[in-house]
Chain A
Amino acid sequence: MSDGHAGYGTGGANDGRGTGGASGKVMTLDAIVGRLESGMTLGIGGWGSRRKPMALVRALLRSDVTDLTVLSCGGPDVGLLAAAGRVRKLVTPFVTLDSIPLEPHFRAARERGALELVELDEAMFLQGLTAGAQRLPFLPVRAGLGSDVLRVNPTLRTVTSPYADGEELVAVPALRMDAALVHLNRADARGNGQYLGPDPYFDDLFCEAADTAYVTCERIVPTAELTRHAAPQTLLVSRHAVTGVAESPEGAHFTSCAPDHGRDEAFQREYATAARTPETWRAFTSRFLSGTGEEDYRAAVRSWHKEQR
């Protein structure tokens, strides 16, 4: 639900999407975050506590970017940004840590009324992203009728089928973003992104429905490597929809990134436990999130795991 349709057919939408030279669209995490601005609408890929672009979220936390509208099938991405007070408005069908059903920071933010929420059904969210990617103003969906999703989103409208059935359906407005952030298993330097796990989630739609899109990945490989051992349909995101790409091993930590790594359940429990009081949360952020980059974060997580043994 970014402002209007800014970016359609303008030069702005293609900024930074040139084919580039040898290094193509490769950027650092901090350079990607340097392209983001306060007040933007950001889409975050993945699903719950699965394949979330957490390294970019951590980089965002190191910046002063705030006042964000966030679109996400939410997990700890939403939790971390909400805990840091960076989210003005959240557009989502749910927020969960999967193996821990309720996201503690999202809960706390909602219960203190600190978050403007646009609560949608999953099918509405999918149709909204699809409309955004296809430059349609809306797509019709049955979901929502009779539910309080319509009550809590008073701007949602219905549309009547022009055909003989005359059905009245919900017109889900296009979800558009200033920038999309996704984490994939592999990518090449041109921005072609590949998922090797069982579920693409909505990551390609996020990229296609955004004016700019940034892909982080476990490994950047030469283009020819991408399909050497994988079927071509694993190539989820194409470079025409990608602005920048960054290699970020374990960039989804602590969420899962099958098959490269599973969810770090022990660390996720630590995260959820730390969220219970302001003191424990301060200790968590100072230990894990106050470094200068991902190397510091990974070192802190490694040393924590050593202590647990």
Chain B
Amino acid sequence: MTPTPTTVTTVTRAEYCVVACAEAWRGDGEVLAAPMGTVPTIAARLAKLTFAPELLLTDGEALLIGDVPAVGARSAVTEGWLPYRRHLTMVMGGRRHVMMGASQIDRFGNQNISCVGDWRQPTRQLLGARGAPANTLNNPVSYWIPRHSPRVFVERVDMICGVGYDSAAAAGPSATRFHELRRVVSDLGVFDFATRDRAMRVVSLHPGVTADEVRAATGFPLSPPEGPPPDGTTREPTAEELHLIRAVLDPAGLREREVPAP
């Protein structure tokens, strides 16, 4: 089962998602890759082992790790100290690209992780705003949505935690100065905001996903690509990437639990 560079194996949806998330950090240089979720964690490590070796990684707590262990495994090398208060300083300094989750996200990239319903007495209380307001105003932000559905991709979020393009613009130059939403990766495809009005558009769909499926799972109209998209289908992992995902970074197959086969 261990693939070698010449073996052809079926790539799972979860593995396309790993590669699509890893691509978010391409070209970032010496910044902290801050992933939330299993697939983004594997992805950040994959990026570091391949095309983005300068990335900084954490152990998920207070340490910068100098090695690239499998997801869930203990790091053996510490290269830095990053307790929460230094982490927040790093956010405010901008040397970080976070991939956050979202309980709701809208067409301009506003994100909610606080609560569903009326904030004063929510129907469903979630985490709270956490660091989403600071993240979105200070360092590049991407989003990972493991289950693309109209309950997550909504016309309007109930509480703006992560700031979208329209809200940043309305708040003025201090809000837009360092605001940058890079991409949204879901189990169905890759999306970004590279449109004239900064509304979400499709960049690529994962193999096997149809445009109708995405339309039905999205609570707002996705902008059509302006001109032909760079590539309508999410790229294949290379043989080396597949080997790293399967044998090195996630031998336990945790990715398949976060994104089950369709």
Interface of A toward B, CB cutoff 8 Å: 47, 74, 92-96, 101-102, 106-107, 110-113, 119-124, 126, 141-149, 151-152, 167-169, 198-202
Q: Is there an interface contact between B125 and A111, defined as CB atoms closer than 8 Å?
A: yes
Closest to B113 in A: A94
Beyond A113-B121, A152-B159, 19 additional contacts (C-beta under 8 Å) are A93-B130, A94-B129, A102-B127, A111-B124, A119-B119, A122-B134, A142-B178, A145-B137, A146-B160, A146-B167, A146-B168, A146-B171, A148-B160, A199-B83, A200-B83, A200-B85, A201-B83, A202-B84, A202-B85
Given contacts A94-B127, A198-B62, A199-B83, contact A142 B120 (CB under 8 A): no
Q: Which residues of B contact A126 (CB under 8 A)?
A: 85, 88
A102 to B125, CA, bound (A): 8
Interface size grouping (class) on chain B? 35 or more
Interface pair B84/A93, CB less than 8 Å apart = no
Contacts of A92 in B (CB 8 A): 128
Q: Is B91 an interface residue (CB 8 A)?
A: yes
Inter-chain contact A142/B138, CB cutoff 8 Å: yes
Q: Whole-angstrom distance between the alpha carbons of A44 and B33 in the complex?
A: 30
| A residues less than 8 Å from B114 (CB atoms) | 119, 148
Q: How far is the CB of B80 from chain A (nearest CB, A)?
A: 11
B147 smallest CB distance to A (angstroms): 15
Q: Which of A142, A148, A202 contacts B159 (CB 8 A)?
A: A148
CA distance A119 to B81 in the complex (A): 28
Which residue of B has the minimal Cβ distance to A148? Answer: B160
Bound state CA distance, A92 and B131, in angstroms? 11
B residues within 8 A CB of A199? 61-62, 83-84
Asked if B72 is an interface residue, CB under 8 A from chain A, the answer is: no
Interchain Cβ contacts under 8 Å between A and B, 18 examples: A74-B128, A93-B131, A102-B127, A110-B122, A119-B119, A121-B130, A123-B92, A141-B92, A142-B138, A143-B92, A145-B174, A146-B160, A146-B175, A148-B159, A149-B129, A168-B174, A198-B81, A202-B84
A142 touches B174 (CB 8 A): yes
Contact B128 A147 (CB under 8 A): no
B151-194 contacts to A, CB under 8 A, are: 159-163, 167-168, 170-175, 177-179
Residue of A nearest to B162 (CB): A147
- Residue in contact with B130 in the complex, picked from A94, A110, A167, A201, CB distance below 8 Å: A94
Tell whether, in the assembled complex, residue A121 and residue B62 are in contact, meaning their CB atoms are under 8 Å apart.
no
Task: Please indicate the chain B residues that have their CB under 8 angstroms from the CB of A119 in the complex.
Answer: 114, 119, 128-129
Contact A168 B172 (CB under 8 A): yes
A142 / chain B contacts, CB cutoff of 8 Å? 92, 134, 137-138, 174-175, 177-178
Which residues of chain A come closer than 8 Å to B125, judged between CB atoms?
A: 102, 106-107, 110-111
B170 / chain A contacts, CB cutoff of 8 Å:
146
Residue of A nearest to B126 (CB): A102
A198 near B63 (CB under 8 angstroms)?
yes
Interface 0/1 of B133-158, CB less than 8 Å to A: 11011100000000000000000000
Question: Would you call B83 and A121 a contact (CB within 8 A)?
Answer: no
B175 to chain A: which residues have CB within 8 Å?
A: 142, 145-146
Given A94-B128, A168-B174, A124 contacting B167 (CB threshold 8 A): no
A-side contacts of B39, CB under 8 Å: none
A122 in contact with B159 given A102-B127, A111-B121, A169-B174 (CB within 8 Å): no
Given contacts A169-B174, A200-B85, contact A120 B121 (CB under 8 A): no
Residues of B within 8 A of A124 (CB): 133-134
In the bound complex, what is the Cα–Cα distance between A101 and B101 (angstroms)?
A: 12
Could you tell me the distance between the alpha carbons of A111 and B122 in the complex, rounded to whole angstroms?
5
C-alpha gap A147/B141 in the complex (Å): 15
Contact A95 B174 (CB under 8 A): no
B72 to chain A, nearest CB (A): 13
**CB-nearest residue of chain A relative to B167?**
A146
Contact B173 A143 (CB under 8 A): no
Closest to A129 in B: B85
Residue numbers in B under 8 Å from A94 (CB-CB):
127-130
Query: Which residues of the partner chain A approach B7 to less than 8 Å between Cβ atoms?
Result: none
